[in-house]
Amino acid sequence: MLKVIIADDEPVIVRGLKKIIPWEEFGLDIVDEAMDGQELWEKVRKQRPDIVISDICMPGMTGLAFLRALKEENMGTQVIFISGYQKFEYVQEAIRLGAVDYLLKPVQRQSMEEAVRKSLQRFRNQERLGLFQEETNELQELVRRLNGNSEYAPEELYDSFCRMGIDWKGKIFAGVVFYLSHRSEQKLRQEQYGKMELVKFSVFNRIQRFFRECRKGFPMKRDHECLIVLCVLEPSEKEDFLEHYVRKVIAQMESETEVELGAGVGSFSDHPAELEYLYNSCKFAYEMRYFLDRKIICADSIHKKFSYSFEDYEKLQKKILNGLVTREPEVGEDFRSCIELVKNLHFGNRYAVINRCILFAGSLYDGLREYGAVTDEDGEKQAEFMEKLRTADTFQELSGIFLCYYEELAKRIQSGAGMWDNPAIARAAEYIRANYDQEINMQKMAEIACVNPIYFSALFKKTTGRNFKEFLTDTRMEAARKLVITTDLKTYAVAEKVGYQNPRQFTDQFRKYYGCSPMEYKKKLIEKSAGS
C-alpha cells in the first residue's frame, strides 16, 4: 500500500481527514501525522511517504517552503494542499511547484477523492515512462504525463511535434485551451449529444491543422471537453500572439462551423523546464470561464483583490436571517451582497462557490424553520434549488438562480405565509439567538417586544408554541451541541460560551437533552465515525 502523512495544526481537522474517505479502498495507508511544517518535513525525510496532505499555512515551515524542499531533495512525494482561504497567489505558486490540488476547508469527500485519484494517476504515469525510449526530454515527459487517458497515444503526439520540425531553441512558449462556449454546448446538447461530440471532433481537428500549417504549435492534450495546444513563438511574436493566432483561428473556426469558441491562454515562458507550469496556467485560465464572461481569458490578466473575510460572510448571513424574520424590505439587497461576497471569497474555485451557496441555503433554512417561517413544501423547493446550483454552467447563471429563489422566498415571508404573526416576538426570538451567551431574562425580552412581562410571556408561547425559557434553553443546547462536535473545548468553556456560569448546571441540562454528558456525547460521535 502507498503511504500517506496528514499535517494540520488543528487536531480536529486531522481527525476529520483521517475519516473523510475510505483510504484503504484506494490502496493507501495513513502512516503518520504532523502538527507543524518542521515536524512534517522531518517525518517525510524519515518515512518517505507517497502522498502528503497538508495545510498550506503551517507554523514552523509553510506548505510552499515544504514543497520547494521536496523538489530540492528530488522526492517523488505527491502533495495535496488544504486551506481555509482561497488566495490566487498561493494556488498559482503551488501549481507551479507541482502540487496535485488545492482544496478549501471544509474539505468535501468528493473533492478529496478526486485529488487522491489525481495523485494515483500521477504515479501510474510515472511508471509508464519506463516503457518509452530511454532518451527523453522535457517535452516528451510532459506529453506522456498529460495524456495517460487521452484519445491520443503520447508517442503519437510527440511524433507529430517532431514531424513538424519546430525548432524550440531561443523560442517562447504558451499553452492555449480551446473549447466550445456554454451557449454552443447547450444548443448542441439539446439537439443531440452525438452531434455535439462530432462538432467538437471536427473543430479541434481544424484547429490542430491551423497550427500545424503555420508551424506555431501542436496539441499537448485533447479530450471530450477541450483541446490544449502548446504554441512555440519567436520572442518578437509575443505582443501580437493573441491577434495573429488565437483570435484568428477562433474567427476562422466560427465562420466555418457556426459555433462559438472560447480560449484560455496561459503564461509565457522561455524555459522548456516550465512547460508543465504553462500547461497548468492555461488550464487555470480555462477554469476561470465559470467566473468571467470573456471570449479569451488570459491567466496573466487575472488579478483579484480579496476584500472580504469569512467573518464578513457570517455577519451578513445573520443579518439576512434577521431581515427575513423581521420582514425588512431591504433584505433583497443583502442577498445580492451575499452572492458577490461568496464570489469574492472563492474566486477561481467553482466548486467552493457552489458548496458555499449550498451551505448558506441549508443554514438559512434551518434558521427560518426555527421561526416557523418555512414549511415542508419549502424544503422540497430548496432541494430542487440546490440541484440547480450544482448544475449551473457559469457563476452568472448560478447568481441568477440564487437571487430568483430568494426573491420569491422573501416575498412569501413578507406576505406572512408560514411566518409568525407578531413581528415583536420575531425580534425577541432573534435577540435570543444572537445573544444566548449572555444573561437574558423576561424583563429584558419584554422591553425588546415593547410589552409588559406578563403579557410577553403569554404572547411568546401563543406565537412560538414554546414558553420563553424553553426557547432560550433549546437555543443554548443546540449551540452547545455544535461546539462539542466542532471544537475541543472543555465542558466549562462550552458552558460559558452558551450562557451558563455553573458548569454542573449546564452538564445536567445537556444530559437532559441528549442523554449523556458533553464529553460522552463527543466520544460516541468519534466511535460512531470510526466504526463507519
CATH number assigned to the domain covering 423-531? 1.10.10.60
Let me know: does 453 contact 477? Beta carbons within 8 Å: no
CATH of domain 2-125: 3.40.50.2300
**Of 235 and 121, which is predicted with more confidence?**
235
Boundaries of every domain in the chain: 2-125, 136-301, 310-414, 423-531
- Long-range CB pairs of 197-201 (<8 Å, 24+ gap) are 197/224, 199/257, 199/259, 200/224
Whether omega before 106 lies within 30 degrees of 0, making that bond cis, reads yes
Q: Is residue 111 a contact partner of residue 103, using CB atoms and an 8 Å limit?
A: yes
pLDDT in tens, 457-506: 877 887 777 788 898 999 999 899 989 988 889 999 999 999 999 999 99
Residue 130 confidence class, pLDDT cut points 50, 70, 90: very low
- Do residues 325 and 371 make contact, with C-beta atoms less than 8 angstroms apart? yes
Please tell me if the domain spanning 136-301 has the same topology as the one spanning 423-531: no
Which tens digits make up the pLDDT trace of 268-314?
Answer: 988 766 777 888 889 889 989 999 989 999 988 887 666 778 888 88
pLDDT score at 146: 55
Least confident of 179-193, 235-249, 466-480: 179-193
Confidence of residue 42 (pLDDT cuts 50, 70, 90): very high
- The cell numbers describing 58, all together, are 503551517
Q: How far is the C-alpha of 181 from the C-alpha of 160, rounded, in Å?
A: 28
Indicate whether this model's pTM tops 0.75: no
CA angle 497, 500, 503 (to 5 degrees): 100
Three cell numbers written together for 102: 488545492
Strand 226-233 versus strand 172-180 pairing type: antiparallel
> Among 175, 238, 180, 239, which residue's Cα sits nearest to residue 211?
175
Distance CA 102, CA 97 (A): 12
Q: What is the second-level CATH architecture of the domain 136-301?
A: 2-Layer Sandwich (3.30)
How far, in Å, CA of 48 to CA of 42, rounded? Answer: 10
Of 248, 219, 222, whose CA–CA distance to 232 is shortest?
Answer: 219
